[in-house]
Amino acid sequence: MNPLPIPTNPGAPFMARLLRHEWVSAKLRHATHHRTIGFGYLLLSLVAVIIGALLSLIMRTHLAWPNWQLPLHGPILPEEYLALVTMHGTLMLFFVLTVAPQSGFGNLILPAQLGTRHMAFPRINAAGLYLTAFALVTLLAAFFVPGGAPIGGWTAYPPLSATPLAGPGQGFGMDLWLASIALFSIATTLNAINMLTTITNLRCEGLTWERLPLTVWGWFTAALLSILAFSVLLAAILLLFCDRHLHSGFFFPAQDLISGTLLQHRGDGSPLLWLHLFWFFGHPEVYIAILPGMGLTSMVIANFSRRRVFAYRLMIATTLLIGFLGILVWGHHMFVAGLNPFAGTAFSISTIAIALPAAAKVFSWLATTWGSRPRLATPMLFALGFVSLFITGGLTGPILAQPILDEYLHNTFFVVAHFHLIMAMAGVFGLFCATYYWAPLLFHRTLSEPLGKLHFWTTLLGAYSTFLPMHFTGLAAEPRHYSQLTGIAGPSAALLQSTLPLQRHITASAIFLVCAQLPFFLNLLLAWRRPANKDTNPWDATTMEWAPNAFNPHPIDQPSIVYRGPSHYADTGTEFLPQWSPVNTFNTEAE
Amino acid sequence: MQASPIHGFWNLPTNAAAHGHALDTHLLLNLWIALALLALAHLILLIGIAIRKRTPRPYQQLFIEYLPLAALTLLFAFLALRAQQLWAAQRYTGADLSAMQVEVTGQQFVWYFRYPGADAAFGRTRLSLVDPANANPLGIDPSDTYGRDDIVTSQLVLPANREVDLTLRAQDVIHGFAIPGMRIKQNAIPGQTTHIHFTPETPGDYAILCTQVCGMGHYRMLATLRVLPLADFNTWLHAQESTRSEPQP
């Protein structure tokens, strides 16, 4: 580990002396070490995912059994239900699916995969972690302020989000939400700059762009998207903050009558502007969540099939293409929002186009495993689970991309099913895959296989049992964000009530899905108690993080050198050549 | 009067709009194709894991990547083209000039429907005149003569087999106006008017839902569409016109 250069600013001799102090500099080195930061991010995600999952269980139980009383709380009120929805979405999207794959595993694994020892900007990196932690605390504080957490969903459409008059939670709670996401945007941008610089500048000798593992390409593309998307989100949040507190009118029409109060003389803005800005961020955001998982899936499938990644260059190209198309498709969230119908046609074309690079990835995964009789260890199972969920969730994408069909399906549970399968479940399977795969590096121990397999099969069953039926309640036209499906007379009530049996099944499955995570935590706890494992490369992996000492470099180690691309397995499947091995025992150049 | 809410393997509510037949056909085609591709991909995945083939790999990128991609491109292009035809037919042009005019206004958490009355023209509204307590929830300006015969209801009543042009407005926040039985959905946005047109075919009662989260009462922002045979509709309309009270001062 390189000692940090201590700034020698003559204007601040005290600070310089303090920083040079042995204890302080050791602490600072530790705090800015990419592993400390990576584990810090994972810890934040763990807190967020536990809270987020518990919120969803409260939500689900209330929806299926509206008279249920939350212990120590009482019945769930409509505004509380919407606050749960908002906070569940915000926690999961930002603090789990953005933080864990990109900032968490990115920081932990990326330097080792590049054959380097540190990230480009250690202190910016640490600042990102603290900002994210502060953002999480700020967000959770919204539960405890008068009015409670915001009720407008994670998309925060104005004018609902633009004035406290619009409902409970839209006052101080909404301000905290905005502050939290603003901090989060800054933190994510800092992290993205750090990752891009590290990947561009700190690759070790021999590690050309074409030899980069697909995980690095995933992080690279996600970091590019982060910079574009989060800067726009930050701008939108500042505008919304001005509308809320400085009486500007970016998102307000000339006159708006909310709760009997007429808001006027603010100029003539449009709520549609927020939708454009938000979804310009929001759609790339889902690719930020899933691209690292796609890269890891490619590498793990090749590793356990003992094959090369099928069509490696095409996989690099499709990663970049998905990223590029990802910034051109935001309008598909707005087919029925009041856009010109020609815009619907344009966004429909760009959205359906994304299905093609995504399908190319699926073909590569299928071709890589085909006929390999892979070793079905837990990381491989989760990678295959990722493929399955990605296919199932992905196939409804082109359906929703057709404006005329979206007109019927928009904001129904069909959409909820779609994005939970392709983004949430596939994303989480990517995270589990990463945890089981890299456990020997992260914890110096392999996790238990029987417990891992139990975890995989129950989680897969729970995921499908929870989210597949949502397609059917959605096709029955059940809208999202309804806190109650019973109690109102008329044909609307008949429609909503017809979905109740399926909703009860979904709730039961969701409880099962959360319980299915217990073997995982048990597995981590048991591993903690086992002695450390000396086998540094138990999966016969080929990428640089598995090189001796790569994950825990010693200061006197020679700099790493890369001799070939990743996943070079011999056709017989018995031999393999890792990236760090200088000897060629079989011809590796055939692509 | 009420059809069974949902039917068939895919759980769709019964369609009752003229454009809905083609939409349903296209939706079902999409769903069956997605299900078939889902089954096919999983079959390939499982067989690929189960069998073992250890010949040196003469993998042909052409056959494994590009031909299936070309096939998918053709399939998606066909589906997108068909969807585009339906979308253009419904959205690229407005309603026929002879279509019936009804204005829909969303406010937390009710839908109001306004008919133009005998003069076939809507009166001016002002948000500053909104006064639900005095039966003027839309703020119809009493100084505008066009507004004197406007009819405001909380139930949408339409004649069967006549095209209707809905003008959507919102007073406060964004609402989503959806009639699943009529296969339509369009947001109502404050400060902006949007239009949607369709032709109801089958008399009956249909659910009207709010599909864009609009506040704590979002779940109860429901209304009913009643489609009547033309004669019954005329009777209803005349009854509304005769009971319409004098405009509010």
- Look at the alpha carbons of A439, A442, A443, A444 in this order and tell me if their dihedral is positive or negative: positive
Q: Which of B5, B31, B86 sits opposite A494 (nearest CB)?
A: B5
Query: What is the CATH classification number for the domain harbouring B173?
Result: 2.60.40.420
Q: List strands edge to edge, sheet with B175-179.
A: B156-159, B223-228, B204-210, B175-179, B184-188
User: What span, in angstroms and rounded, lies between the C-alpha atoms of A503 and A4?
Assistant: 55
Alpha carbons within 13 angstroms on the beta-carbon side of residue A344 total: 27
- What is the residue whose two structure tokens read 């010109």? A340
Alpha carbons within 13 angstroms on the beta-carbon side of residue B147 total: 16
- At A31, list the tokens: 């705090």
Angle (deg, nearest 10), helices A271-305 and A378-395? 140
How many angstroms separate the Cα of A44 from the Cα of each of A91, A182, A522, B70, B106?
Answer: 10, 17, 19, 43, 41
Q: Is the pLDDT of residue B2 over 90?
A: no
Q: Give domain status of residue A3, yes or no.
A: yes
| Closest to A184 (Cα-Cα) out of A116, A221, A218, A137 | A137
Instruction: Judge if B107 and B196 occupy the same domain.
Output: yes
Q: Give domain status of residue A170, yes or no.
A: no
Element (H, E) at B184: strand B184-188
Q: Give domain status of residue A580, yes or no.
A: yes
Probe site for chain A from B9, B12, B43, B187 (most A CB atoms < 10 A) = B187
Q: Which of A264, A374, A573 sits opposite B49 (nearest CB)?
A: A374
Nearest residue of chain B to residue A372 (CA atoms): B52
Instruction: Judge if B196 and B232 occupy the same domain.
Output: yes
How many domains does chain A contain in total? Answer: 2
- Tell me the three-class secondary structure of A13-66, residue by residue: HHHHHHHHCHHHHHHHHHHCCHHHHHHHHHHHHHHHHHHHHHHHHHHHHHHHCC
User: What span, in angstroms and rounded, lies between the C-alpha atoms of A584 and A423?
Assistant: 40
CA distance B131 to chain A (A): 9
- At A3, list the tokens: 């000692």
Instruction: Judge if B108 and B18 occupy the same domain.
Output: no
Q: Which residues contact A180 (CB under 8 A, 6 or more apart)?
A: A90, A135, A136, A138, A139, A142
Residue B1: pLDDT band with limits 50, 70, 90:
very low
Q: Give domain status of residue A462, yes or no.
A: no
CA distance A517 to chain B (A): 25
Cis upstream peptide for A159 (omega within 30°): yes
- The full length of chain A comes to 591
Q: Give domain status of residue A560, yes or no.
A: yes
For the stretch A573-578, contacts whose Cβ atoms lie closer than 8 Å and that sit 24 or more positions apart, written own/partner, are A573/A306, A573/A307, A573/A372, A573/B54, A576/A306, A576/A540, A576/A542, A577/A542, A578/A537, A578/A541, A578/A542, A578/A543, A578/A546, A578/A547
Q: Give domain status of residue B10, yes or no.
A: yes
What is the separation, in whole angstroms, between the first and last Cα of chain B? Answer: 40
Q: Give domain status of residue B1, yes or no.
A: no
Instruction: Judge if B233 and B119 occupy the same domain.
Output: yes
Instruction: Judge if B167 and B60 occupy the same domain.
Output: no
- Look at the alpha carbons of B190, B196, B202, B203 in this order and tell me if their dihedral is positive or negative: positive
- At A121, list the tokens: 């900007």
Q: Give domain status of residue B248, yes or no.
A: no
Chain A residues with CB-CB distance to B181 below 8 A: 491
- Tell me the three-class secondary structure of A393-413, residue by residue: HHHCHHHHCCHHHHHHHCCEH
- Contact between chains at A268 and B191 (C-beta distance less than 8 A): yes
Chain B residues with CB-CB distance to A395 below 8 A: 34, 37-38
- Contact between chains at A356 and B192 (C-beta distance less than 8 A): no
User: What span, in angstroms and rounded, lies between the C-alpha atoms of A251 and B221?
Assistant: 23
**Selected residue with higher pLDDT from B65 and B220:** B220
Chain A residues with CB-CB distance to B195 below 8 A: none
Last residue of a domain, one of B91, B122, B141: B91
Q: Which residues contact A297 (CB under 8 A, 6 or more apart)?
A: A365, A383, A386, A387, A390, A430, A433
Instruction: Judge if B12 and B44 occupy the same domain.
Output: yes
CA distance B52 to chain A (A): 4
Q: Give domain status of residue B161, yes or no.
A: yes
Probe site for chain A from B213, B220, B225, B226 (most A CB atoms < 10 A) = B213
CA distance B64 to chain A (A): 7
Q: Give domain status of residue B106, yes or no.
A: yes
Q: Which of B12, B90, B176 sits opposite A404 (nearest CB)?
A: B90
Q: Give domain status of residue A6, yes or no.
A: yes
Q: Give domain status of residue B14, yes or no.
A: yes
Instruction: Judge if B222 and B114 occupy the same domain.
Output: yes
SS3 A590: coil
Element (H, E) at A136: helix A122-141
Instruction: Judge if B16 and B51 occupy the same domain.
Output: yes
- Rg, Å, chain A Cα set: 25
Q: DSSP letter for B246, please.
A: P
Probe site for chain A from B131, B183, B208, B209 (most A CB atoms < 10 A) = B209
CA distance A116 to chain B (A): 34
User: What span, in angstroms and rounded, lies between the C-alpha atoms of B42 and B85?
Assistant: 32
- Contact between chains at A363 and B69 (C-beta distance less than 8 A): yes
Q: Give domain status of residue B249, yes or no.
A: no
User: What span, in angstroms and rounded, lies between the C-alpha atoms of A194 and A120?
Assistant: 6
Q: What is the pLDDT of residue A327?
A: 95
Q: DSSP letter for A97, please.
A: I
Digit-coded pLDDT (tens) for B106-155: 999 999 999 999 899 999 999 999 998 988 999 999 999 999 999 999 99
Element (H, E) at A369: helix A341-369
Q: Does B73 touch chain A (CB under 8 A)?
A: yes
Chain A residues with CB-CB distance to B87 below 8 A: 341, 344-345, 348, 402-404
- At A225, list the tokens: 């998207």
| Closest to A52 (Cα-Cα) out of A91, A83, A22, A100 | A91
User: What span, in angstroms and rounded, lies between the C-alpha atoms of B48 and A587?
Assistant: 26
- Contact between chains at B11 and A407 (C-beta distance less than 8 A): no
Instruction: Judge if B112 and B232 occupy the same domain.
Output: yes
Probe site for chain B from A59, A336, A364, A480 (most B CB atoms < 10 A) = A336
User: What span, in angstroms and rounded, lies between the C-alpha atoms of A15 and A18?
Assistant: 5
- What is the residue whose two structure tokens read 């640490």? A126
What is the separation, in whole angstroms, between the first and last Cα of chain A? Answer: 36
CA distance A437 to chain B (A): 19
**Selected residue with higher pLDDT from B87 and A10:** B87
CA distance B206 to chain A (A): 6
- What is the residue whose two structure tokens read 């009547």? B228
- Contact between chains at B41 and A349 (C-beta distance less than 8 A): no
User: What span, in angstroms and rounded, lies between the C-alpha atoms of A351 and A328?
Assistant: 8
Q: Give domain status of residue A247, yes or no.
A: no
Query: Cβ distance A141 to A173 under 8 Å?
Result: no
Q: Give domain status of residue B77, yes or no.
A: yes
Q: Is A463 left (phi over 0), alpha (psi -120 to 50) or beta?
A: alpha
Instruction: Judge if B185 and B231 occupy the same domain.
Output: yes
| Closest to B86 (Cα-Cα) out of B31, B27, B22, B32 | B22
| Closest to B9 (Cα-Cα) out of A319, A536, A471 | A471
Query: Cβ distance B185 to B211 under 8 Å?
Result: yes
Instruction: Judge if B62 and B128 occupy the same domain.
Output: no
How many domains does chain B contain in total? Answer: 2
Q: What is the pLDDT of residue B4?
A: 52
Last residue of a domain, one of B91, B114, B137: B91
- At B152, list the tokens: 């405001």
| Closest to B139 (Cα-Cα) out of B107, B183, B163, B168 | B107
Instruction: Judge if B111 and B184 occupy the same domain.
Output: yes
Chain B residues with CB-CB distance to A164 below 8 A: none
Q: Give domain status of residue A437, yes or no.
A: no
- Contact between chains at B61 and A314 (C-beta distance less than 8 A): yes
User: What span, in angstroms and rounded, lies between the C-alpha atoms of A67 and A290?
Assistant: 37
Q: What is the pLDDT of residue B247?
A: 47
Chain A residues with CB-CB distance to B9 below 8 A: none
- Look at the alpha carbons of A499, A502, A508, A510 in this order and tell me if their dihedral is positive or negative: negative
- The full length of chain B comes to 249
Cis upstream peptide for A382 (omega within 30°): no
Q: Which residues contact A279 (CB under 8 A, 6 or more apart)?
A: A330, A331, A333, A334
In a structure prediction context, what are the per-residue pLDDT tens digits for chain A, which is 591 residues long? 455 555 555 556 676 777 777 777 788 788 889 999 999 999 999 999 999 999 999 999 999 999 999 999 999 999 999 999 999 999 999 999 999 999 999 999 999 999 998 999 999 999 999 999 999 999 999 999 999 999 999 999 999 999 999 999 999 999 999 999 999 999 999 999 999 999 999 999 999 999 999 999 999 999 999 999 999 999 999 999 999 999 899 999 999 999 999 998 778 899 999 999 999 999 999 999 999 999 999 999 999 999 889 899 999 999 999 999 999 999 999 999 999 999 999 999 999 999 999 999 999 999 999 888 899 999 999 999 999 999 999 999 999 999 999 999 999 999 999 999 999 999 999 999 999 999 999 998 899 999 999 999 999 999 999 999 999 999 999 999 999 987 677 899 999 999 999 999 999 999 999 999 999 999 999 998 888 877 788 999 999 999 987 877 777 778 889 999 999 988 777 788 999 999 887 765 444
- Residue A10's domain comprises 1-31
Q: Which of B2, B6, B84 sits opposite A476 (nearest CB)?
A: B6
- Contact between chains at A405 and B107 (C-beta distance less than 8 A): no
Question: To the nearest 5 percent, what fractions of chain A are helix, strand and coil?
Answer: 65, 5, 30
- Residue B161's domain comprises 100-243
SS3 B228: strand
User: What span, in angstroms and rounded, lies between the C-alpha atoms of A530 and A115?
Assistant: 29
Q: Which of B92, B173, B224 sits opposite A341 (nearest CB)?
A: B92
- Look at the alpha carbons of A331, A335, A340, A346 in this order and tell me if their dihedral is positive or negative: positive
Last residue of a domain, one of B29, B64, B91: B91
Probe site for chain B from A82, A86, A160 (most B CB atoms < 10 A) = A160
Q: Does B153 touch chain A (CB under 8 A)?
A: no
Q: What is the pLDDT of residue B57?
A: 57
Q: Which of A271, A341, A396 sits opposite B189 (nearest CB)?
A: A271
